[in-house]
A and B are shown apart, each in its own frame.
Chain A
Amino acid sequence: MLSTLVPLPVVVPLLGAALTLLLARQPRLQRTISVLCLSGTLTVAVLLLVQAYRHGPVVVAVGAWPAPVGIVLVADQLAALMVVVSSAVTLCVLLYSIGQGRSEASETTPVVIFHPTYLVLTAGVTNAFLAGDLFNLFVGFEILLAASFVLITLGGTETRIRTGSTYVVVSILSSMVFLTAVGLVYAATGTLNLAQLAQRLDDLPDGVRLALELMLLLAFAIKAAVFPLSAWLPDSYPTAPAPVTAVFAGLLTKVGVYAIIRTETLLFPGGQADVLLMVVAGLTMVIGILGAVAQSDLKRLFSFTLVSHIGYMIFGVALSTAAGLSGAIFYVVHHITIQTTLFLVAGLVEERVGSTDLRRIGGLARVAPLLGVLFFVPAMNLAGVPPFSGFLGKLGLLQAGVAAGGPLPFVLVAAGTLTSLLTLYVASRVWNLAFWRAPRLATSEPSVRLPKLMVGATVALVAIGLALTVLAGPLFDVTADAAADLRLRTPYVRAVLPGGGP
């Protein structure tokens, strides 16, 4: 049966983590196992997505305990789609990191720890996507956070400890807020199963519902780096190793966005917090991109564009329409791919010329033409230049905003357009400074040839980004279907509680 496949995206990386830890002495075997695990996860995820698209959500009750009592893992279209994209991206980044590890003989980071931790991180991400239970979602968050703590302080240098401590403290605080919200939700409803919560939360008094909703949103917004709660991100991401930053930027914030989508559709569909969400979405977009305009380091600059574009997704969620949700889901998929690619390119730039500081590099287009292409395509994609997927995603969201009507959505549409233009400005500024100008290398002994595997992994991600453009039609079908299911809520609830629930 296909339902036995559902736990595999969580179990396989966890088992792989244990194996790679045991095989710490044999790096070659360790790498092979990591790659095999993530390839397996990707295959399973694709199968799940096909099944969820054709026949509705795939549910498995862990330990054969029936739904409201036991823990369920649910792969509906949204969850399956997220697992597909996240495992594809993690696989590419893993290959990139293997390429990087091979190139540097004097690599100071303990590679022994990298592979197990990376696999645990993947397991946490997929667990959070598949969780059908609020507490299991919390556990998924904790798994990925604990792994990310290790990855962000990898090597334990002074800079990484300094930035890592900020990240660790902020993450722990958000976990505490989430845990408190979980406790309060249980106290108010007597259940944590998401499907059962969907039925019971509707009967609560409005004030209690709003309080619980805001508490959950607060916890998820810290993780998703929504504006007033986003200051930790640009301070902590840029110092980590390039593959780590790339996978954090691509996935960790999107897990927060995913949790916000679930909260706003399945648990609290009334749209009580829509105005608040729209305001913070607009502020996230504009303030984030203004931060990016002011930056002079490539990695910090990309961190700010990351924060800025989270705003688009929150905007789509806040619209509370099927079109808005569909656009938001498409944008999540697009943004995971593109933002990861850009951070990988920043890593390649650092590898090639020794720095990512725009003040110290220049003329890369002449020195490394392939690198120029690899930067140009995703950067234009991020800025939303037609015909790339970034343009299609933004267009979908802006159309949904116009269709929703009203003064606030129109302000948000204007803010979205402005952000898109400013992103284009930022991208062309990086192009002018780092890729045009007279060649200037920050290191006296640049590595002339980049490792093939690093370039290959980046090329693969750029190609996935382009494939999203070509396959945008079918993808929009899937996201529209997922959004319709999310709005209805019944497919999810019925799949988890076939008897209608107590």
Chain B
Amino acid sequence: MTASGAGPTMVLVLAVAVLVGCGVILLLERSLTRILLGVILLGNGVNLLILLGGRPGGAPIVGTGPVEQMSDPLPQAMVLTAIVITFGLAAFLLAVAYRSWYLTGDDEVPDDLEDRQIIRRAVRNEVGTVDLGGEGPNGDPEQVDPEPARRRLRRGDEAC
């Protein structure tokens, strides 16, 4: 940041906007790899934004120049911390994506099982069987710990 003057340069502001915009769009995807890229872009955009909050100028070391022309060191310190944190979170997300691919063959985040059951019941206009009393239907799939192989319901399939 070598720009002189009071405000941040337009280029940096635009860079923040592009990074955050692309990050948000990628976050809306279902594939964990794309979400990961989105998180990285979003994180970098936010870090750049924090950097813009401080005053630009020379190196903030006493003795290297007049105090008035020094940059603000605090946002830089915060950004360093934030970069490390974003890096760690991204690494964890990568591990989750890999594990998901390892277990299921893809890294898409599926809908919640219970949500899918509710959608299915709503389509068929059924009532839950819990409160009817008597014997519970043993055919009902257990919702918390399901069998591993189950047909995945993709987007757009719900209506069928």
The docked-state distance in angstroms from the alpha carbon of A182 to that of B46 is 10
Residue of B nearest to A69 (CB): B74
B32 touches A149 (CB 8 A): no
Chain A residues near B66 (CB, 8 Å)? none
Bound-state CA distance A356–B49 (Å) is: 47
Contact A296 B92 (CB under 8 A): no
Q: Decide: A360 near B81, CB < 8 A? Known: A183-B49, A429-B131.
A: no
Q: In the complex, how many angstroms separate the beta carbon of A498 from the nearest chain B beta carbon? A: 22
Contact (A158, B46) CB under 8 Å given A235-B115, A357-B142: no
Chain A nearest CB, measured from B113 CB (Å): 8
Question: Are B100's CB and A176's CB within 8 A?
Answer: no
Please encode chain A, from 170 to 204, with 1 for each CB lying within 8 Å of some chain B CB and 0 for all others. Answer: 00110110011011101100001000000000000
Q: Does B43 contact A (CB under 8 A)?
A: yes
Residues of chain A at the chain B interface (Cβ within 8 Å)? 135, 139, 142, 145-146, 149-150, 153, 156-159, 161-166, 168-169, 172-173, 175-176, 179-180, 182-184, 186-187, 192, 235, 238-239, 294-297, 299-300, 355-360, 429, 433, 437, 440
Chain B's nearest CB lies how many Å from the CB of A301?
Answer: 10
Q: Provide a sorted-by-A list of 9 A–B residue pairs whose CB atoms are within 8 angstroms.
A: A146-B92, A169-B39, A176-B43, A179-B47, A183-B53, A187-B54, A297-B143, A300-B143, A437-B133
Q: Does B93 contact A (CB under 8 A)?
A: yes
Q: Are B144 and A297 interface neighbours, CB within 8 A?
A: yes
* Interface presence of B137 (CB below 8 A): yes
Closest to B93 in A: A168
CA distance A294 to B128 in the complex (A): 8
Q: Which A residues are in CB contact (< 8 Å) with B88?
A: 146
Using known A-B contacts A183-B49, A238-B144, A359-B137, determine if residue A162 contacts B130 with beta carbons closer than 8 Å. no
* CA of A295 to CA of B103, assembled, Å: 28
Shortest Cβ gap from A227 to chain B (Å):
17
B5 on the A face (CB < 8 A): no
Flag whether B157 is at the interface (Cβ < 8 A): no
B112: Cβ under 8 A from any A Cβ? yes
List the B residue with the shortest CB-CB distance to A238.
Answer: B144
Q: Return chain B residues, CB-CB under 8 Å to A433.
A: 130-131
User: Restricting to B32-91, which residues have a CB under 8 Å from any CB of A?
Assistant: 32, 35, 39, 42-43, 46-47, 49-50, 52-54, 74-75, 78, 81-82, 85, 88-89
Q: From B75, B99, B129, B143, give the contact of A183 (CB < 8 A).
A: B75
Are A187 and B52 touching (Cβ within 8 A)?
A: yes
B136 interfacial contact with A, CB 8 Å: yes
B145 at the interface (CB under 8 A from A): yes
Knowing A159-B144, A176-B43, A186-B74, say if A296 contacts B130 (CB, 8 Å).
Answer: yes
Number of interface residues of B (CB under 8 A): 50
Q: How far is the CB of B90 from chain A (nearest CB, A)?
A: 9
- Chain B residue nearest in CB terms to A239: B144
Q: Is the CB of B145 within 8 A of A159?
A: yes
> What separation, in Å, do the CA atoms of A297 and B136 have in the docked complex?
13
What chain A residues lie within 8 Å of B99 (beta carbons)? 153, 156, 161
Q: Which of A163, A166, A172, A355 is in CB contact (< 8 Å) with B142?
A: A355
A159 touches B115 (CB 8 A): no
Least CB distance, A409 to chain B, in whole angstroms: 34
Contacts of B145 in A (CB 8 A): 159, 239
| B136 neighbours in A (Cβ, 8 Å) | 358-360, 440
* Chain A residues within 8 Å of B148, by CB: 158
Interchain CA distance A182-B146 in the complex, whole Å: 41
Tell me, yes or no, whether B96 is within 8 Å of chain A by CB.
yes
Contacting residues of chain B (104-157) with chain A, CB-CB under 8 angstroms = 104, 109-110, 112, 114-115, 118, 128-131, 133, 136-138, 140, 142-146, 148
20 further interface pairs, Cβ-Cβ under 8 Å (given A149-B92, A294-B118, A296-B130): A146-B88, A146-B89, A156-B99, A158-B104, A158-B148, A161-B96, A161-B100, A165-B32, A168-B92, A168-B93, A169-B27, A179-B50, A180-B46, A183-B46, A186-B75, A235-B112, A300-B144, A357-B142, A358-B130, A359-B136
